[in-house]
Amino acid sequence: MNRRQFLRAGALAGVVTVGTTVVGSAGAGRVAGAGAPHRATASGTTMPNGTGTPTPTPTEAVATPTSDWEPSGSVAVPGATETVLAPDGETAFVAVGDGFAVLDLSDPTEPTVLTRETGISPPGTDRELVQAFDVKHDDGELLLAGPASYHPDSFRGVVRYDVTDPGAPELVDAVETTYPVHNCCFADGLAYLTGNDDDRNPLVVVDLAGGGEVGRWSVLDGDDRWADVDQAVRRLHDVWVQDDLAYLAYWDAGTWIVDVSDPADPTAVAGITPIDPGTFEGKSYLERYRETKEPPGNVHYVATDPAGELLAVGKETWNSNAGLEGTTPGPDDPGGPSGIDLYDVSDPTEPTELATIEPPATADPNVGGVWTTAHNFEVGERYLYSSWYEGGVKVHDLGDPTNPREVRYFRRSSTTSFWTAQLTSPGGSVVASSRYNPADLDAPAVVYTFPDVPRETPTATPADTERPPTSAPATADTETQSGNEPTGTRPGDEPAGTLPGDGTTGGDGPGFGPLAALAGLGVGAWRLLGGGDDEQ
């Protein structure tokens, strides 16, 4: 029995989850009304860290960075959010909200902007893409997704570019959806989309070459008890695909591993679920709202190492005082930033927790305070490269994944807020995008380069090692921002979130925006540009 057959057999026997017991077997998500043509350990063995991390009150100083690691270069890239790299490590592609920018990193001490593609309106529509916060690269092609949340005037979906000549990107085609696309993954001609439709919130797989949606899977297929829980706490925030497995960041519904070897028939393999669906029963509107902001849960970003044996799960949390008095966490309030959990997934049917990387300290853990919660990252062969908003950029040695060791740390909370950290090549450079300058809201976003941890001996090329397809010391900052919830003034903020219960808009969404009910429309996708199979 080969590995994939083994996984299928395990899935048919029932889904194993960490932390909760799944009622019923795993159902495969199938296409229902696809769009017209136009990609757990055994129960009780381990428990994820669901308590959050205690944080200092706003009157306490934050931690001082522990290394003299400083940027080696930088370049202004207005609107910069997610950043991905070409396999050679000399080109970066950066989502900028209204399009993407291409950076030349051949000299990491002086990165330059090669070109900037904005005002993207695919043929067949008069709408332009906005709120494009995610971008993915695979085999000379680029996929740009958006809008990150509901936007009445934006093109919704993904656009694909040929970037074999990075300085002259060419639009290949586009797929329009009836839902916003917050994040995506792109591998082997398949696009894996976060299909948050205010209902099942499925993973949607689109075959770009064949011209249509081929499959979908929802957390409700893995555990139908989540159907009774407000959909706002079980949105699909992100997806990572490697070796025929999709790793899904399902916010408070946890992390799910899904077999996508047959993209038309995705099947659950395991779930890492720190919160039981029954926890939400009887909770008030404001209690459910606060739950979308605070630990435990809030699975935001997931990625595996190149071997597919180590899984990192990042959680994005704060303290929320919505409907409460006071501004700081109390003894019965676990609010504050969360870190990155590490799991052994060498047997994906039995993920085993190994360790948790705690978040940097913050002077103000509130949603409107100093953000130091985990954001996007890359898991290399030995090192983890992570971003923490105002908490900075870190590198951890994962030689012993049960005891990750911090080896590099840059933090300048007063002037940077990092979105991601990516590696060009082993021993090369770390590329990190800072979405805004807290001290000057009119200043552009900046992409920084840092020297990587030195390697003792040469290693294989980055294409073979670190990067599977896509999918004076800084001074500690003690400034705070007043108010219980954010004011919405941070440039590049993930847009305001849907409040559980009534679909109204709040000012501090955790990475999701209000998804308008699109009456009469499904979550299908269709081709806008290109002739499908006839032109492939």
How many Cβ atoms from other residues are within 10 Å of residue 25's Cβ? 14
- Please give the pLDDT value at position 503: 35
What average pLDDT does this structure show over 454-476?
A: 52
Q: Which residue has the higher pLDDT, 317 or 332?
A: 317
Q: Which residue has the higher pLDDT, 35 or 197?
A: 197
- Tens-place pLDDT, residues 84-100: 999 999 999 999 999 99
What average pLDDT does this structure show over 39-55?
A: 30
- Please give the pLDDT value at position 321: 85
Residue 62 confidence (pLDDT) above 50: no
Q: Which residue has the higher pLDDT, 328 or 278?
A: 278
Residue 34 confidence (pLDDT) above 90: no
What average pLDDT does this structure show over 428-442?
A: 98
Residue 532 confidence (pLDDT) above 90: no
Which of 50-59, 159-168, 217-226, 316-325 shows the lowest per-residue confidence on average (mean pLDDT)? 50-59
Q: How far apart are CA 75 and CA 92, in angstroms?
A: 12
What average pLDDT does this structure show over 239-267?
A: 98
Answer for the pair 112, 118: CB distance below 8 angstroms, yes or no: no
Amino acid at 416: T
pLDDT-derived band of residue 7, with 50, 70 and 90 as boundaries?
A: very low
- Tens-place pLDDT, residues 360-415: 999 999 999 999 999 999 999 999 999 999 999 999 999 999 999 999 999 999 99
Q: How far is CA 146 from CA 42, 139, 378, in A?
A: 38, 21, 22
Helix (H) / strand (E) element for 303: namely strand 299-304
Across all residues in the chain, what is the average pLDDT? Answer: 80
Residue 74 confidence (pLDDT) above 50: yes
Residue 231 confidence (pLDDT) above 60: yes
Q: Which residue has the higher pLDDT, 30 or 508?
A: 508
- Please give the pLDDT value at position 126: 93
- Please give the pLDDT value at position 324: 78
Three-state SS annotation for 86-106:
CCCCCEEEEECECEEEEEECC
- Please give the pLDDT value at position 500: 36
- Please give the pLDDT value at position 477: 41
Q: How far apart are CA 111 and CA 66, in angstroms?
A: 26
Name the E strands within 139-289.
Answer: 141-146, 157-162, 170-177, 184-187, 190-194, 203-207, 212-217, 238-242, 245-249, 255-259, 267-272
Answer for the pair 160, 141: CB distance below 8 angstroms, yes or no: yes
- Please give the pLDDT value at position 4: 37
Answer for the pair 237, 194: CB distance below 8 angstroms, yes or no: yes
Q: How far is CA 104 from CA 116, 287, 420, 434, 449, in A?
A: 12, 47, 18, 17, 12
Buried b (16+ CB within 10 A) or exposed e, 231-264: bbbbbbbbbbbbebbbbbbbbbbbbbbbbbeebb
**pTM exceeds 0.95 for this model:** no
Compute the C-alpha angle 331/337/339, nearest 5°: 120
**Residue tagged 């996007």 (tokens):** 376
Answer for the pair 78, 445: CB distance below 8 angstroms, yes or no: yes
**Residue tagged 């009119």 (tokens):** 442
Strand partners, 405: 397
DSSP output for 398-455:
-SSTTS-EEEEEE--TTT--EEEEEESSTTSEEEEEE---TT-TTSPPEEEEEEPPPP
Residue 236 confidence (pLDDT) above 90: yes
How many Cβ atoms from other residues are within 10 Å of residue 215's Cβ? 24
What average pLDDT does this structure show over 167-186?
A: 97
- Please give the pLDDT value at position 456: 78
pLDDT-derived band of residue 209, with 50, 70 and 90 as boundaries?
A: confident
* Tokens linked to 150: 């509901």
Torsion angle (degrees, nearest 10) of CA 450, 132, 197, 419: 20
In this structure, what CATH number is given to the domain that contains residue 371? 2.130.10.10
What average pLDDT does this structure show over 446-458?
A: 90
Residue 513 confidence (pLDDT) above 80: no
Which of 184-193, 427-436, 437-446, 506-515 shows the lowest per-residue confidence on average (mean pLDDT)? 506-515
Domain containing residue 25: 3-535
Amino acid at 237: H
Q: How far apart are CA 199 and CA 149, in angstroms?
A: 15
> Percent helix, strand, coil in the chain (nearest 5)?
5, 30, 60
Three-state SS annotation for 397-414:
ECCCCCCCEEEEEECCCC
Our count of domains for the chain comes to 1
Q: How far apart are CA 24 and CA 151, in angstroms?
A: 37
Buried b (16+ CB within 10 A) or exposed e, 451-484: bbbeeeeeeeebeebbbbbbbeebebbbebbeeb
- Please give the pLDDT value at position 458: 56
Where is mean pLDDT largest: 114-118, 334-338, 525-529?
114-118
